[in-house]
């Protein structure tokens, strides 16, 4: 089955209204003319908050540098996998976004704050003398 993922705040594929959201890369606010809805078996709406939380979780626990839209895709995949009719089945999720694109966004906000508070260490002359 093919499941589309879109922002809960802008569920246009499902026929809802366009709205602001924080999931860059999906949910442009319109349905593209080249989208063949007959290929879609279901639609999962995922909130910006859920997407950010999942992306951060994947980065921290799995070490995979994903972006916010990948967080949304994984949330949707986990929902699908949790359904009784999918027990024991393989669920494949496309992770197409990469953290590097989002370092200036909410995804890395906490890390930027922590980095700004770090003290810069300057090597002492005694330490540098040991290297020679």
Least confident segment among 48-57, 82-91, 111-120: 111-120
72 pLDDT tier (thresholds 50, 70, 90):
very high
% residues pLDDT > 90 (the chain)? 65
Q: What is the pLDDT averaged over residues 18-33?
A: 93
pTM: predicted TM-score of the whole model, two decimal places: 0.79
The Cα–Cα gap between 5 and 42 comes to 9
Q: What is the pLDDT of residue 131?
A: 83
Domains of the chain: 3-118 (3.40.50.1100)
Residue 116, pLDDT > 80, answer no
pLDDT digits (tens, 9 = 90+) for 84-102: 999 999 999 999 887 777 6
């Amino acid at each position: 089955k093919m499941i589309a993922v879109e922002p809960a705040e802008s569920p246009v594929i499902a026929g809802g209204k366009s709205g602001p959201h924080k999931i860059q890369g999906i949910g442009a606010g319109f349905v593209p003319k080249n989208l063949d809805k007959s290929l879609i078996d279901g639609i999962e709406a995922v909130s910006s908050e859920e997407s950010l939380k999942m992306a951060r979780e994947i980065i921290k626990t799995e070490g995979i540098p994903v972006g916010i839209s990948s967080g949304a895709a994984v949330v949707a995949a986990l929902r699908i996998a949790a359904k009784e009719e999918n027990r024991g089945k393989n669920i494949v999720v496309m992770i197409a976004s990469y953290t590097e694109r989002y370092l200036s966004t909410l995804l890395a906000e906490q890390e930027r704050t922590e980095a700004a508070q770090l003290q810069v260490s300057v090597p002492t002359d005694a330490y540098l003398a040991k290297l020679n």
